[in-house]
Amino acid sequence: MPPNRNQGPEPAGRFIDLSFPLSEDMPVFPGLRRPEVSVALSHEESARSDRYVGCTCMITNVAMSGSIGTRLDVPLHFKPHGADVSQVELTDVIADGVCLDARGAEAESEVNVPELLQGLDVRGKAVLICTGWDRYYGEEQYAKHPFVGRRGTEGLIEAGARLVGIDTLIIDDRRDPRRPAHASLLPRDILIVEGLRGLDRLLNRAFRFFAVPPKVRGMSAFPIRAFAELF
Has residue 8 been placed in a domain?
A: no
pLDDT of residue 43: 97
Same domain, 57 and 81: no
Domain containing 45: what range?
A: 33-65
Tens digits of residue pLDDT in 88-125 = 999 999 999 999 999 999 999 999 999 999 999 999 99
Q: Which residues have C-beta within 8 Å of that of residue 123, sequence separation ≥ 6?
A: 159, 160, 161
Same domain, 56 and 24: no
Q: Per the structure, how many domains does the chain have? A: 2
Has residue 193 been placed in a domain?
A: yes
Tens digits of residue pLDDT in 182-198 = 999 999 999 999 999 99
The DSSP string of 97-128 is EEEEE-TTPPTT-B--HHHHHTT---TTSEEE
pLDDT of residue 182: 98
Same domain, 91 and 140: yes
Contacts 24+ apart (CB under 8 A), 29-36: 29/67, 29/68, 29/169, 29/170, 29/174, 32/65, 32/67, 32/68, 33/63, 33/64, 33/65, 33/68, 34/64, 34/65, 34/68, 35/62, 35/63, 35/64, 35/68, 36/62, 36/63, 36/64
The residues that bridge with 59 in the sheet, in sequence order, are: 41
Q: What is the CATH number of the domain that holds 108?
A: 3.50.30.50
CA geometry: angle 223, 215, 30, nearest 5 deg: 30
pLDDT of residue 10: 52
With a cut of 50, which residues of the chain have pLDDT below it? Answer: 1-8
pLDDT of residue 51: 92
pLDDT of residue 1: 38
φ and ψ of 133, to 5 deg? -75, -10
CA geometry: angle 68, 192, 202, nearest 5 deg: 95
Same domain, 91 and 183: yes
pLDDT of residue 159: 97
pTM for this structure?
0.92
Same domain, 60 and 165: no
Same domain, 84 and 141: yes
pLDDT of residue 13: 65
